Amino acid sequence: MQRSCLAIVLAAGESTRMRSSVSKVLHPIAGRPMIAHVMESLAAAGVGEAALVVGRDAEAVARAAARPDLRIHTVEQTERLGTGHAVLAAAEIIARGYDDLLVVFGDTPLVTPQPLKEALAAVAAGNDVATIGFETSRPGGYGRLIVRDGELIAIREAKDATAAELAITFCNGGLMAIDGRKALDFLRAITNQNAKGEYYLTDLVEIARSAGGRAVAVRASEAELGGCNTRAELAHLEALWQARRRDELMLSGVSMIAPDTVYLAFDTEIAGDVLIEPNVVFGPGVRIERDVVIHAFSHLEGAHVESGASVGPYARLRPGAHLHAKAKVGNFCEVKQAEIGAGAKVNHLTYIGDAVVGAETNIGAGTITCNYDGVNKHMTRIGAHAFIGSNSALVAPVAIGDGALVASGSVITEDVPADAVAFGRARQELKPGRAPILRARYQAMKAERQKRQD
């Protein structure tokens, strides 16, 4: 029979050290709130129900934490009296009865499902408490995990530790699994008799042992248990997340010339045999298929790039951009809410917005789709095998037929039928011999201006 589990997610931080106007768990890592990363790991660990302990920005935190695969109860922590006190804010929900209780923090966005599973497995195996810890060469102010013969004897806060205990490098990550049948009794036994006058969740280890129970510690990496209290720590967590995800992608067959310069979003999908050049940024909602090249200094968000296509350098794909197989969007181009057909080329200095470009069509340099009338957006539809000459303006709504040709420098305001040639520009005039006269006039004007300045 599957065990029932309630996760207690502590997310009532005030953001005091963040110097922020919003709750710290709402600050993003890889483009989404850090609380959402935590909830994803809980769901992946098999947790189906969570009590979200909130304070500041309660409604926004609840929205950010919401997932269809997690039943979430929101409870408010009105006082800040320590982690043990925070968990007891969910006492009414805990009392409904669960096999396991799992306590996590909303500001540990790098935690993976594996240590959560291991802690729950330890409780399922008969232990009363399973704490998740990490080894570090800089234990500093972390609580120390005191382990003897495989059993966790105590968690000692740094301010209460002896010199010998401070030498321990196995430290408390703060996350903990508890036998759900005993959790409330353990939690209510916590006192605030310590240097900070707070109710420490870590006291559960000694409380469980004094009741004849057993506690153990499971290990996770230091990186995935890192919390966030300052903007500097937020940047550090972002860097760690990015490095981890880049490694995962490269191991899956993605090539990155300068990995440290590539920035990914939480949901970036990149298939194998993709080459990413330096200084590329992926916003949310990007899917890249196989054999694509993303050239340097490109920015993609909400875009789908099919196999064999090429992007950049210095290209911007905005939400709704869809490049079909072997399409090309080149340097200093922007594509928004537009389909670029298979084999079509948008090579340089061009804006294509709210448009459909057919297969094998060529869009000349400097072309723009004039999609906005100041109030509404309008569509431009360009057929297959068409040619749009350089520096053309296509004033939407407008349609260019298959195989049509638009002359360079044209302003197109009416539909162009298939295989037609469209000219939308003023007639060129010639004035033989006038160039020397104009040059003399301009030189005289310049001389007069310089004379006045002198």
Q: How far apart are CA 135 and CA 145, in angstroms?
A: 10
Longest dimension (CA), the chain: 108
Dihedral (Cα; 327, 329, 330, 336), 10-degree rounding: 180
Residues in the chain: 454
Pairing label, strands 151-156, 144-148: antiparallel
Q: DSSP string of 344-370?
A: -EEEES-EEEEEEE-TT-EE-TT-EEE
Query: Which residue is catalytic, options 27, 295, 322, 348?
Result: 348
The verdict on whether 348 is a catalytic residue reads yes
Binding-site residue numbers for acetyl-CoA are 365, 371-372, 390, 408, 425
Dihedral (CA of 96, 39, 25, 194) sign: positive
Q: What type of residue is 88?
A: L
Count helices and strands (H / E) in the chain: 10, 35
The answer for residues whose C-beta is within 8 angstroms of residue 159's C-beta and 6 or more apart is 141, 194, 195, 196
Which of the 8 DSSP states describes residue 195?
T
**Residue 322 · residue 303 · CB < 8 Å:** yes
Binding-site residue numbers are 10-13, 24, 77, 82-83, 107, 143, 157, 172, 229, 318, 336, 351, 362, 365, 371-372, 390, 408, 425
Angle 323-328-330 from CA coordinates, rounded to 5°: 120
Dihedral (CA of 233, 285, 13, 6) sign: negative
**Residue 206 · residue 175 · CB < 8 Å:** no
Q: How far apart are CA 442 and CA 120, in angstroms?
A: 85
Binding-site residue numbers for Mg(2+) are 107, 229
**Residue 409 · residue 425 · CB < 8 Å:** yes
The two tokens of residue 204 are 């559960």
Q: How far apart are CA 100 and CA 61, in angstroms?
A: 24
Q: What type of residue is 264?
A: L
**Residues that are catalytic:** 348
